[in-house]
């Protein structure tokens, strides 16, 4: 006890300088663009930032299945139905890789899901908007997946290896979804008058929420600076938002649709589009749970979880019963072939 007490200040000082050195070595690795892997030492704050971000991303994929899943049974052709099922399924797959990437940081998928269901974890606010017409499926693919790609392509170079690798695959699929969404919008925009109106209405409703997907202005973004030092984030919210607008406005023009922003104009000097003020009060309200579908989305996830409880329990009970003698498991496999 005594020795320990005497030794502790000195040890603390050593630990302090050791800790500083570790941090410096860690930052140097990041600066050299080395990938950080699960077994490598990392600062606790880096770990926590990544867990928060990857989990939020995973939750967004899972909750994002709901607004689009809402149209699977009503897709207007069998080809569109198949494409939509495949897309929603891809999103579930993205959720799965991302939960796995988060698990490499020492959290359990079950705990992350618990945080989502209890309302403690966030997911992308865009999914709290309703899908009211078929054109919304096109608008989500074109705008929401388009905005997601802007955010996510830089994450393929993120300093944390498992996240970066998951993002490579996710981005490939997202870009495919974005093209499918645009093609759907093009079909509607060039279709009948009613279809064109449906497409315009969808753009009117999804444009501003899509811009909000990039998060608050840089001046108000809490996490940006540190995340950029750690190369978790490579561009600021405003940079990505601007890039999205610059790419998307000509696409809207090609569709013959009008972007619902009276202040939108091309600025020759900066070679960027200038755009109107985002309604940040709406952003904050949706973030706080007051969006049009926050309640429904969480309810749907909770219902799936609750209704599935007896199924999961049955699987566990069956596995426990059949764990022991190997020949019984083999007999079971035989009957299923």
Partner 1 sequence: MSTAAEAGSAEVSRAERIEYLLRLADTSLVAGQRLGELLGHGPTLEEDLALGNISLDLIGQARLLLALAGRIEDKGRDEDALAFRRDAPQFRNMSLAEQPNEDFAATIVRQCLLDAWQLETYESLTGSREEALADIAHKAVKECRYHWRFSAGWLVRLGDGTEESHARVSAALGALWRFTDELLTPDALDAHMAVCGIGPAPGLIRERWDARVSAVLAEAKLQKPPHQHYPWHGKRGVHSEHLGHLLTEMQFLPRTYPGVTW
Specify which residues 273 forms β-bridges with: 266
Check residue 69 for interaction with partner 1 (CB under 8 A): yes
Check residue 335 for interaction with partner 1 (CB under 8 A): yes
Q: How many residues bind partner 1 (CB under 8 A)?
A: 51
Chain positions 199 to 258 lying near partner 1, rule: CB under 8 A, are none
233 vs 297 by CB, closer to partner 1: 297
Check residue 62 for interaction with partner 1 (CB under 8 A): yes
Show the tokens assigned to 306.
């609750």
Check residue 330 for interaction with partner 1 (CB under 8 A): no
42 vs 112 by CB, closer to partner 1: 112
C-beta separation of 116 from 123 below 8 A:
yes
Nearest distance, CB of residue 31 and partner 1, angstroms: 37
- Which of 12, 119, 191, 256 touches partner 1 (CB under 8 A)? 191
93 vs 260 by CB, closer to partner 1: 93
Place of tokens 């198949």: 82
The phi, psi pair for 223, rounded to 5°, reads -95, -10
- Per-residue exposure over 64-86, b if at least 16 CB sit within 10 Å of its own CB, e if not: bbbbbbbbbeebeeeebeebbee
Q: What is the DSSP string of 243-269?
A: HHHHHHHHHHHHHT---S-TT-EEETT
C-beta separation of 152 from 175 below 8 A:
no
Place of tokens 């099922």: 85
User: Which part of the chain contacts partner 1 (CB under 8 A), choosing from 3-11, 235-243, 287-295, 303-311?
Assistant: 303-311
- Which of 134, 206, 230, 244 touches partner 1 (CB under 8 A)? 134
Chain positions 75 to 114 lying near partner 1, rule: CB under 8 A, are 75-82, 85-86, 88-89, 92-93, 95-96, 99
C-beta separation of 263 from 89 below 8 A:
no
Place of tokens 């093609």: 183
121 vs 153 by CB, closer to partner 1: 121
The SS3 assignment for 131 reads coil
Check residue 321 for interaction with partner 1 (CB under 8 A): yes
User: Which part of the chain contacts partner 1 (CB under 8 A), choosing from 33-41, 199-207, 208-216, 312-320?
Assistant: 312-320
The SS3 assignment for 71 reads coil
C-beta separation of 74 from 134 below 8 A:
yes
Half-sphere exposure of 183 (CA within 13 A, CB side): 10
Question: Residue numbers of the site for partner 1 (CB under 8 A)?
Answer: 62, 65-66, 69, 72-82, 85-86, 88-89, 92-93, 95-96, 99, 134, 187, 191-192, 194-195, 300, 303-304, 307-315, 317-318, 321-322, 331-332, 335-337
């Amino acid at each position: 006890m005594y020795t320990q007490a005497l030794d502790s200040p000195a040890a603390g000082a050593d630990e302090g300088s050791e800790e500083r050195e570790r941090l410096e070595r860690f930052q140097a690795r990041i600066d050299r663009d080395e990938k950080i892997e699960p077994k490598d030492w990392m600062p606790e704050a880096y770990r926590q930032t990544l867990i928060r971000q990857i989990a939020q991303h995973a939750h967004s994929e899972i909750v994002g299945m709901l607004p689009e899943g809402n149209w699977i049974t009503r897709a207007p052709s069998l080809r569109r139905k198949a494409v939509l099922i495949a897309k929603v399924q891809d999103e579930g797959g993205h959720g799965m890789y991302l939960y796995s990437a988060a698990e490499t940081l020492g959290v359990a998928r079950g705990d992350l899901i618990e945080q989502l269901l209890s309302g403690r974890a966030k997911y992308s606010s865009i999914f709290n908007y309703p899908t009211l017409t078929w054109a919304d499926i096109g608008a989500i693919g074109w705008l929401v997946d388009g905005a997601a790609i802007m955010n996510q392509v830089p994450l393929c170079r993120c300093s944390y290896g498992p996240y970066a690798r998951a993002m490579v695959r996710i981005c490939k699929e997202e870009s495919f979804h974005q093209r499918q969404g645009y093609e759907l919008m093009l079909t509607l925009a060039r279709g009948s008058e009613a279809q064109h109106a449906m497409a315009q209405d969808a753009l009117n409703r999804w444009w501003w929420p899509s811009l909000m997907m990039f998060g608050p202005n840089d001046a108000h973004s809490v996490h940006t600076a540190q995340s950029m030092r750690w190369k978790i984030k490579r561009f600021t919210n405003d940079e990505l938002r601007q890039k999205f607008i610059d790419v998307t406005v000509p696409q809207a023009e090609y569709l013959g649709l009008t972007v619902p922003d009276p202040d939108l104009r091309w600025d020759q000097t900066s070679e960027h589009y200038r755009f109107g003020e985002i309604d940040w009060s709406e952003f904050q309200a949706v973030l706080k749970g007051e969006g049009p579908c926050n309640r429904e989305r969480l309810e749907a996830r909770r219902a799936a979880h609750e209704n599935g409880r007896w199924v999961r329990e049955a699987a566990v009970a069956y596995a426990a019963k059949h764990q022991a003698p190997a020949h019984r498991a083999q007999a079971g496999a035989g009957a299923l072939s």
